[in-house]
Amino acid sequence: MTFELSDFPYTYTIGMTDRERDEKLSAESVGVLGLAAENTAYCVPVGYHYGDDRLIIRLLFGPQSKKRGYLDKTETAMFVVYGHEGPRDSWSIIVRGSLTRIPDSTFSIAECRSMFGPVRLFGENVDEATVELYELQPTSIVGRRT
């Protein structure tokens, strides 16, 4: 069945300014990272830090993690941050680009703790999990708001 848009309530969106986009990215700390291998997509919520025009994503890897396989095969990743306040006020930012691993020595543990919230485990054993940082180098950033 196909529906007409006029059958639903709707609201118009407009593009965010660079300043609005940077403020939202700086204020939030969790987004959704989209990876792809062959014809299969893999999306996962991740912690991130945005500052000094850098988007740094923290990834957790357990022994059974699927992320590594997808990460190794993804040429262009997608990253989404969004929010809403009520049924008509919303915003979203979509970042497209390549992921590059950040060497372990780039940030101290203290810096990482100040940049990110707590790591969220989903059944992983703390002693078997590792954390790596990646920079998403944007080829495009699109921000929209109502």
| Residues 93, 16 contacting (CB under 8 angstroms) | yes
pLDDT digits (tens, 9 = 90+) for 20-74: 999 999 999 999 999 999 899 999 999 999 998 899 999 999 888 889 999 999 9
| Per-residue pLDDT band at 120 (split at 50, 70, 90) | confident
Would you state the pLDDT for residue 128? 86
Domains and CATH numbers, the chain: 12-145 (2.30.110.10)
For the chain, where are the E strands, in sequence order? Answer: 14-15, 30-37, 40-51, 54-61, 77-85, 89-101, 130-145
Record the pTM: 0.90
pLDDT digits (tens, 9 = 90+) for 52-65: 889 999 999 988 88
Helices (H) and strands (E) in the chain, counts: 3, 7
What is the share, in percent, of the chain residues with pLDDT greater than 90? Answer: 71
